[in-house]
Structure 1
């Protein structure tokens, strides 16, 4: 019959033999399957012990020195999912996903890749010798040392190598930032923040899984999924203590309010949202009510405008890259801030928020800003850009 071919009986035997190393023809588990199941069982016991705050029970499953580092963190969940085991005799390396939630803050688990080194004990049970971030995966704060926890009215601050006094100062800043953001953006967000304060710039880089050089001079960043659903892990505001310590009181508050704005606007920020809008809006909220003039907030752009070098277009996403000059990066942030300030001055603060949300409703970047400008502001991008350029001259020249 055309299109069909008879397979000789011996072919089935060969196929069965080939599959034996993977799943055994009779359906019996292989040594690898058994090892994965055994390791999963040990990690289930380990996770339960962590949640029970039972250091002795953690020690029964393996190395437990790190337990003290994480023990102060309020956890709603902690679980491992083994994704692979690489065994060599009495030792093994396991790949796993760690899923955990900070109680009262994470609506869904944070998922991070981990690597665990194990060995068989005298009773033939797997014993965890070491646990660390998987290759290229970011560290968790407790990977860097013992975590200290400070709670504010609207915040939880987790720090390593920081005094309680300094962590309380961050909680105070975050507690002032949350109502300030709600006043500008509205109350429809979680209205609480998680702030991570590592020991140094290198610690910040470790939490982000990137080289320290990428964040030198950056006081803080916010992690989170663009356009994240409501049921998602809370964003983390990660502080660079080296750069943060150089700021004055206003600068510190502006930075925390800026980053808190990113937390509040995350669900409305999508791939369609340009950086000039997301960063400009966060700066607008940060400086809102500060009394600072455009000349004070935008000195780099002011110098360029005074010299007759008025930007021809709104900043592109590429202009916000950390690889260029500090002056050019500052001008991009200042230009975005002044674009948002223009909308608030010319059309009103409510329209600025409506414009931000309208842009984010689009799935893709092309046409998103243009349609939102037409629908919300009643103008077009070319006219808005012309008005923005004149606004720069009026405010900065």
Structure 2
């Protein structure tokens, strides 16, 4: 909502103001001469007066034009065009925007665009920082923007990530003045590789693009080698059904990783990397978004881990990427995580003492419940053993089919009977027997 001018002493000014409200205009007054022009109704306005039509369908076009120029600046790699639509009032934000631009131009985009999403002001307004409201005197909007892009040689589909851009009205022109912030931000907002606080560098091969902090290119080569091994391991179990290519973010910026744990900051230190599914439209802004790809993001505190640990982490997350097209709301967590552990440890040997030590005093009874799964790290071990049991008892192809079955059915009972020929109770007993034998 636009802030109205203060009430003047002469009541007839409200007749003028009423007219302005009818045509949905904001009048930027350029001093005493402009005020006199408004009150007198002279035929010609002085130079200091600017009319700005802010009806949604017209003001929206002005913002669309800014977004189009902004995207074009990235494609042209023209920083002056980019900065022309950035408010210069906040030096810190100006510096930040230059960094974002530089980072964007480092990425190998085959497609890149900013698109205004159809999200109501009522929803986006919650993300307006108070200082920006105060700066623009309410002539401000939080705009839901879809960053639509494809990474050259990696993405076969257009990928949508969210940006909550704050636009302010300055001298009759909409400019970008800040970023939205707050709780319940859409997945990936402020968590993209170009959002890194410092400069980035990119290393790649035909199947993997790794984004690192500037100066870390040597570490990127190591990650590329490990990534290739991980992709081969995944392909042995899941040879088709996905692109087989990954964008990996491994910047030394904790904020990027922490973005994905806004509601559970206590878990950040326990997670080495995450696989984030993305869609053709921002999931929180669309009714039925179509899956596009999965991005992998590393916890920067884990980048110095031993090669064996990094190898496991990459293979685990790449498995999530491979199964992303067939993972849905009904796929149990123990299947999702257990399958990824199965692939990561597929060629490894285990011993009874190791199993007992890993499980500790955990009682293996029913399959872990989704709601409590991540509260108990040992559920990863339990899920891994369950998937390994299915693969060894029924064959690896049946394990993959079991995973895929949750696309069509929502219960373990129905999926297990269709794919494996046994009910959930019998499957759980087979799992308990397998765990007991493995620990002997």
Fold shared by both chains (TM-score > 0.5): yes
| Contact preservation (8 Å) 1:310, 1:392 | no
Question: Which of 382, 399, 405 is matched with 1:358 structurally?
Answer: 405
Equivalent residue of 2:211, what SS?
strand
Deviation at 1:360, TM superposition (A): 2.7
CA distance in 2, matches of 1:297, 1:132: 48
1:132 and 2:175 are equivalent in the alignment: no
Structure 1 residue 41: deviation in Å? 1.7
SS class of match (1:338): helix
Alignment of 1:1-397 (within 5 A): 21=21, 30-33=53-56, 34-62=58-86, 63=94, 64-66=97-99, 67-75=101-109, 76-81=111-116, 88=136, 92-104=140-152, 105-106=154-155, 107-120=157-170, 124-128=172-176, 130-136=177-183, 137=185, 138-139=189-190, 140-144=192-196, 145-160=198-213, 163-206=216-259, 209-210=262-263, 212-224=265-277, 232-246=291-305, 248-293=306-351, 295-296=353-354, 299-301=357-359, 303-304=360-361, 310-321=363-374, 324=375, 329-362=376-409, 365=410, 368-397=411-440
Structure 2 residue ranges without an equivalent (≥5):
1-17, 25-51, 87-93, 126-132
Tell me the CA shift for residue 272 of structure 1: 1.7
Question: TM-score, structure 1 length as denominator?
Answer: 0.79
Give the deviation of 1:290 after TM superposition: 2.7
Conservation of the 8 A alpha-carbon contact between 1:205 and 1:211: no
Distance verdict in 2 for CA 1:149–1:111, change over 3 Å: same
Q: Is the 8 A contact 1:225 1:266 kept in 2?
A: no
Q: CA deviation at 1:97?
A: 0.8
The Cα of 1:167 is off from its aligned counterpart by: 2.0
Q: Taking structure 1 as reference, are residues 171 and 133 closer, same or farther at Cα in structure 2, changes over 3 Å only?
A: farther
- Larger mean CA deviation between 160-169 and 279-288 belongs to 160-169
Offset of 1:298 from its aligned partner?
A: 6.7
CA contact (8 A) 2:201 2:212 kept: yes
Aligned partner of residue 256 in structure 2, secondary structure: helix
Are residues 19 and 287 of structure 1, via their aligned partners in 2, closer, same or farther at CA, if it must alter by over 3 Å?
farther
1:81-104: CA deviation from partner (whole Å, max 9, x where unpaired): 176598957964442313221323
CA contact (8 A) 2:145 2:163 kept: yes
TM-score (norm 2): 0.72
Aligned length: 358
The CA RMSD measured in Å over matched residues stands at 3.2
1:141/1:160 contact within 8 Å kept = no
Counterparts in 2 of 1:230 and 1:119: CA distance versus 1, 3 Å: closer
Q: Could you give the per-residue CA deviations for residues 183-210 of structure 1, whole angstroms, max 9, x where no partner exists? A: 1022221100111113244431125545
Residues 153 and 43 (structure 1), Cα distance of their counterparts in 2 relative to 1, 3 Å cut: closer
Q: How far does the alpha carbon of each residue in 1:69-119 deviate from its partner, in whole angstroms, 9 at most, with x for none?
A: 221012211213176598957964442313221323341231303223445
